[in-house]
Amino acid sequence: MTLAKAYVIIAKEHNNLHLAWELSSKIRSCQLLLSKAAMKEDPISLDEAEPIIKGLSSLIFKAQDAHYDIATTMMTMKSHIHALEERASAATVQSTVFGQLAAESLPKNLHCLHVKLMTDWLEKKSLQELADEKRNSPRLVDNNLYHFCIFSDNLVAVSVVINSTAWFFSNDFRGSTIEVQNIEDFTWLNASYSPVVKQLLETDSRAYYFEGSQDMKIEPKFRNPKHISLLNHLRFYIPEIYPQLEKVVFLDDDVVVQKEMTSLFSLDLHGNVNGAVETCLEAFHRKSNVTARYHYWQQQNVDKSLWKLGTLPPGLLAFYGLTESLDRRWHVLGLGFDLNIDNRLIESAAVIHFNGNMKPWLKLAIGRYKPLWERYVKGFGGFNFLLIGFSFSGMQALELSAQ
């Protein structure tokens, strides 16, 4: 198509308008075929492509037979290619910025849900009473039960994680106890204790993450405020949040549980504090003082010279030498960015993880994987997830305990 576009310009310069029109027509046919294939996410068949390619080839040979000046042709093509490269480069930058904005944005329907639940919480005292009752349940500190924790402010995403997890216990929420905590109640999590809180209060950090930048050398994802969000770092404070629990399974809010997970609680981690699928045995966690190691590395990276974003780098450093490797079938990653994950791998996974920008609750989600998440959105057995109403300013920390 690039060669054909060059000949369109040359044909017009030589007043051969009919040839220019024929080439333009075939180019439009090519573009239409490519756009349809992109929309359908299906490859172009030979039967579709062959007549267009043959027609375009014939016109290019016709243009070459016109004996246009070779030097002029080369200069025109170079100019055209340079212009296309500049447009492609600008489009790549724009696509990256827009994609990051879409990934960071809150869908309108999810925002409306937050507002509705906030209204219900403030108007219905019975919800607050029920929340207090759940918060004082002895089941939440019973080490004979199975304990799962999630840190998130995305109500719909958390409901899917709980729906998919609870399904394997009894097909409903009977037998499960759910506690919702507000991060503002963690008074011990302050600037004098946590380097992350201290960074949040610093002017330079706030400007870096929240005020934006015109410096295109810095990738937009490095400035995503979620990477310095306290919710993203609470996993390192599980010993303080749940001091009486010996075993906890931590789940991200962008996962779906596909298989029963109780066998995780009987795994031998050989004295380590962490499993490859983010399974923490908190008694060992306290003995190894992983939180202090995490604080040390956060302080070393105050100028972001060691790593740019996220909790994975400090997590790898804090848990270095303290992690037990588990079977990869427990946790399959990449459903938020990888289009080519093997279906057999997905089907065999205990947990599938939509890590990446293409979250299943966004319009830019990968259509192939979205049904795996959507089937848990409305709950099951006609039971909608109403417990997400226990929130002040959005869900902050949640624990699910089940027999």
Given a cut of 90, is residue 346 above it in pLDDT?
A: yes
What local confidence, expressed as pLDDT, does residue 281 receive?
Answer: 39
Residue, of 63 and 339, whose pLDDT is higher: 339
Residues 6+ apart with CB under 8 A from 403: 145, 146, 169, 175
Question: Three-state SS for 112?
Answer: helix
Which region among 99-108, 152-161, 230-239, 337-346 has the lowest average model confidence (pLDDT)?
Answer: 99-108
Within the chain, how many helices (H) and strands (E) appear?
16, 10
Q: List pLDDT tens digits, range 146-201.
A: 888 888 888 888 888 888 877 665 555 667 788 888 888 888 888 887 777 777 77
The number of C-alpha atoms within 13 Å of 333 and in the hemisphere containing its C-beta is: 9
The pTM is what? Answer: 0.60
Given a cut of 70, is residue 364 above it in pLDDT?
A: yes
Q: List pLDDT tens digits, range 29-74.
A: 888 888 888 887 778 888 888 888 888 888 888 887 776 666 766 7
Question: Three-state SS for 207?
Answer: helix
Given a cut of 50, is residue 390 above it in pLDDT?
A: no
What local confidence, expressed as pLDDT, does residue 307 receive?
Answer: 47
d(CA 251, CA 326): 16
CB-CB contact of 336 with 359 (8 Å): yes
What local confidence, expressed as pLDDT, does residue 383 receive?
Answer: 34
Residue, of 101 and 231, whose pLDDT is higher: 231
Given a cut of 60, is residue 231 above it in pLDDT?
A: yes
Kindly give the pairing relationship between strand 331-332 and strand 397-402.
unpaired
Give the residue from 152, 306, 308 showing the smallest Cα distance to 232.
152
pLDDT-based confidence at 368, cuts 50/70/90? very high
The dihedral through the CA atoms of 236, 242, 247, 253 has a sign that is negative
d(CA 377, CA 237): 29
d(CA 320, CA 323): 7
Segment 216-234 shows an average pLDDT of: 60
d(CA 14, CA 317): 67
What local confidence, expressed as pLDDT, does residue 172 receive?
Answer: 54
Segment 133-147 shows an average pLDDT of: 85
Largest distance between two CA atoms of the chain: 89
What local confidence, expressed as pLDDT, does residue 193 receive?
Answer: 79
Given a cut of 90, is residue 352 above it in pLDDT?
A: yes
Given a cut of 90, is residue 369 above it in pLDDT?
A: yes
What local confidence, expressed as pLDDT, does residue 52 receive?
Answer: 85
What local confidence, expressed as pLDDT, does residue 314 receive?
Answer: 56
Beta-strand runs (E) in 110-157: 146-151
Tell me which residue has tokens 């994680």.
161
Residues 6+ apart with CB under 8 A from 238: 149, 248, 250, 280, 282, 285
Residue, of 24 and 201, whose pLDDT is higher: 24
What are the structure tokens assigned to 206, written together?
């706030």
Length of the chain: 403
What local confidence, expressed as pLDDT, does residue 208 receive?
Answer: 60
Give, to the nearest 10 degrees, the angle between helix 2-13 and helix 46-65. 30
Residue, of 293 and 197, whose pLDDT is higher: 197
> Which secondary-structure segment (H or E) carries 73?
helix 70-104
Tell me which residue has tokens 């037990």.
324
pLDDT-based confidence at 279, cuts 50/70/90? very low
Percent above pLDDT 70 for the chain? 69
Segment 361-375 shows an average pLDDT of: 89
Given a cut of 60, is residue 321 above it in pLDDT?
A: no
Alpha-carbon distances of 168 from 158, 163, 262, 353, rounded to whole Å: 16, 9, 9, 18
Name beta bridge partners: 150: 398
Residue, of 223 and 122, whose pLDDT is higher: 122
Residue, of 402 and 85, whose pLDDT is higher: 85
Segment 377-403 shows an average pLDDT of: 42
What local confidence, expressed as pLDDT, does residue 372 receive?
Answer: 93
pLDDT-based confidence at 354, cuts 50/70/90? very high
Percent above pLDDT 90 for the chain? 5
What local confidence, expressed as pLDDT, does residue 323 receive?
Answer: 59
What local confidence, expressed as pLDDT, does residue 403 receive?
Answer: 52
Kindly give the residue spans of alpha helices, DSSP state H, lying in 175-277.
Answer: 195-201, 203-210, 230-233, 238-241
Segment 390-394 shows an average pLDDT of: 30
What local confidence, expressed as pLDDT, does residue 94 receive?
Answer: 77
